[in-house]
Amino acid sequence: MPAMFASRNSVTWDERLKTGFFVTCLVDLMRPSVGFAAVDLLEDAGCDVSVPERQTCCGQPAFNSGDVASTLPIARQVIEAFADYDYVVVPSGSCAGMIRTHYPELFENDFTWRRRALDLAERTYELTTFLADLAGWRADAPGGSGKVTYHDSCSGLRELGVREQPRRLLAQLENVELVELPDSNVCCGFGGTFCVKYPDISTRMVDDKVDCVADTGAPVLLGGDLGCLLNIAGRMRRKGVKTRVYHVAEWLAGHHDRPGIGDPADDDR
């Protein structure tokens, strides 16, 4: 897909496209740096970024638990909050997938809301897809350096086809070498409430993932979904594995010197 609008590296825009940023609950609560990194990247790419006040969560925890009644008000809230943007960008494949794939399903029998849901779905993009396919983001700083490996989160991969986009973006960072993760398309065992309800199975799954990361020899793991990254980093910390874990946005935005997910805030690691 060609770049639909130019980044600041090339052209300045009189009228920049209005981009609404949906920060997602996990980034909002657990790792705001991912949100700021994403906003930096979007602004780099020439977007006029806003963060609507009325956003909270996309409703996925309730939806995936089969609680449609609780999901509906949250979905309506998101649809309304992002009604006026040209694009809506989400730093998570699973939340973007929720909006793009499942919101329209939710309102199957409600013509008005279904139309609004479809309208939002069409404008909503997962962050790396937006940067790579639409915004034509170019790295303007070398960013981090060294070997990294990448975990493909399942929802992004299978609901949205996110695979090449983060790799294309990382390829622009001159000093970064991407080592492919064996079984990178196999679930890490997060699965939202799954990991809390079936901790024993989930732990086994994440152990496989941690082993695969170790096999790559890369000291850094990147990914596009904070849920999976919290799960993997949490298991690594428990096992004393020293791999540093970041959201891909942080590396692209040059925030790679900060402590990784689950690392101590000061420099005593």
Partner 1 sequence: MTVAQSSKAFKVRSRRALLDNDLREALGRARGGFVEQRRAAFEALPEFEALRDAANEIREHTLSHLDYYLERYAANVEINGGTVHWASTAEDMNRIVVDICRRAGAKLVTKGKSMVSEETDLHHALKAAGIERMETDLGEYIIQLADEPPSHIIAPAVHKTRAQITELFHANHARFGIEGRAEDRTAIVAEARRVLREAFLSADVGITGANFLIAETGSNIIVTNEGNGDLTSCLPKVHIVTAGIEKVIPTLEDLSVFLRLLGRSATGQEMSAYSTLYSGPARPGDSDGPAEYHVVLLDNGRSTMLGNEFHEMLRCIRCGACLNHCPVYSHIGGHAYGWVYSGPMGSVLTPLFKGLEESYDLPNACTLNGRCQEVCPMRIPLPSLLRRLRQRQVEAKITPARQRLALSMWSRLAARPRVYRFVTNLSMRSMAWLGRRRGALRYLPAGRGWTRGRDMPAPEGATFMTRWRRRGEQDT
Site residues (CB under 8 A) for partner 1, limited to 40-99 = 51, 53-57, 59, 61-68, 70-71, 73-74, 77
Nearer to partner 1, 150 or 190 (CB): 190
How many residues touch partner 1 under the rule CB under 8 A: the total is: 71
Nearer to partner 1, 133 or 250 (CB): 250
**Cβ 245 to partner 1 shortest distance, Å:** 8
161: contact with partner 1 by CB under 8 A: no
Nearer to partner 1, 10 or 70 (CB): 70
Nearer to partner 1, 59 or 136 (CB): 59
Backbone region of residue 85 per phi and psi (left: phi > 0; alpha: psi in -120 to 50; beta: other values): beta
Can you tell me which of 4, 11, 196, 214 binds partner 1, judged by CB under 8 A?
196
Can you tell me which of 205, 212, 222, 248 binds partner 1, judged by CB under 8 A?
205
29: contact with partner 1 by CB under 8 A: yes
Can you tell me which of 16, 114, 158, 163 binds partner 1, judged by CB under 8 A?
158
Can you tell me which of 176, 181, 213, 233 binds partner 1, judged by CB under 8 A?
233
SS3 string, the chain, reads CCCCCCCCCCCCCCCCCEEEECCCHHHHHHCHHHHHHHHHHHHHCCCEEECCCCCCCCCHHHHHCCCHHHHHHHHHHHHHHCCCCCEEEECCHHHHHHHHHHHHHHCCCCHHHHHHHHHHHHHEEEHHHHHHHHCCCCCCCCCCCEEEEEECCHHHHHHHCCCHHHHHHHHCCCCEEEECCCCCCCCCCCCCCHHHHCHHHHHHHHHHHHHHHHHHCCCEEEECCHHHHHHHHHHHHHHCCCCEEEEHHHHHCCCCCCCCCCCCCCCCC
Give me the sign of the Cα torsion angle 174, 179, 185, 187. Answer: negative
267: contact with partner 1 by CB under 8 A: no
Nearer to partner 1, 35 or 224 (CB): 35
Can you tell me which of 116, 151, 235, 255 binds partner 1, judged by CB under 8 A?
235
**Cβ 171 to partner 1 shortest distance, Å:** 25
**Cβ 262 to partner 1 shortest distance, Å:** 3
Can you tell me which of 1, 15, 109, 200 binds partner 1, judged by CB under 8 A?
200
154: contact with partner 1 by CB under 8 A: yes
Q: How far apart are CA 223 and CA 152, in angstroms?
A: 6
Can you tell me which of 115, 147, 197, 242 binds partner 1, judged by CB under 8 A?
197
Distances (CA, A) of 124 to 58, 71, 121: 12, 18, 5
Can you tell me which of 18, 36, 40, 118 binds partner 1, judged by CB under 8 A?
36
